[in-house]
Amino acid sequence: MKRIEFLVVLIVFFFLQAVLAGRMSIGSISPDFPLLIVVYFAVHKNSFQGAILGFVVGLLQDLFNPSFLGLNAFTKTLTGYGLGLAGSKTERDNWLFLLALFGVAAMAHDFVYLLIFTGLHPGKFFVMWVTVSIPSAVYTAVVGVVVHALVSYSATEVVRYLGKARS
């Protein structure tokens, strides 16, 4: 993917996070669009690019919460790297597999995030993990699959349109 395309996708996902995530939230449960972009690109690229992308996306998120600057960068770097390693072994177009992948990645990400965020406080960690992280992971996974379907459908239509225009 060219850098400019990547930049556009990045901006689109952050726009989605800023505008849509709040509106789509159910209480404290909302989809994590920046995590989706990391997961999606990490499995389609490799661990090197996954780690870099995770760091950039996480750092951009951290800018809005400088008290914990570096926390999202740290967790998303690990997520990107891990999924990049697994990337070649995954069935990237199987929606059921993607659903599980997005969900597990979101839970793993939040697990590390909450450990540091709560200062290893077991009570707060457990409450947030059960009431926010797990439902958010399910929500993120469902949204991820829908976005994937929309992107695939749009890409197919664009290719078909361009093919018709040429002929």
Query: Minimum CB separation from another protein for residue 159, in Å?
Result: 30
Q: 3-state class of 148 per DSSP? A: helix
For the chain, the C-alpha Rg in angstroms (whole number) is 16
DSSP character at residue 90: S
Query: Minimum CB separation from another protein for residue 99, in Å?
Result: 20
Query: Minimum CB separation from another protein for residue 115, in Å?
Result: 13
Nearer to another protein, 67 or 167 (CB): 67
Place of tokens 């909450």: 114
Using CB under 8 A as the criterion, which residues of the chain lie in contact with another protein when the complex forms? 11, 14-15, 17-19, 21-22, 25, 28, 30, 32, 34, 46-48, 51-52, 54-55, 58-74, 77-78, 81, 84-85, 116-117, 119, 124, 127-128, 131-132, 136
Neighbours of 140 (CB within 10 A): 27
Give how far Cα 141 sits from Cα of 1, 110, 145, 147, 157, Å.
23, 13, 6, 10, 24
Nearer to another protein, 8 or 149 (CB): 8
Nearer to another protein, 66 or 163 (CB): 66
Q: What tokens were used for 127?
A: 């409450």
Nearer to another protein, 30 or 98 (CB): 30
At residue 129, φ and ψ (nearest 5 deg) are -65, -45
Query: Minimum CB separation from another protein for residue 165, in Å?
Result: 32
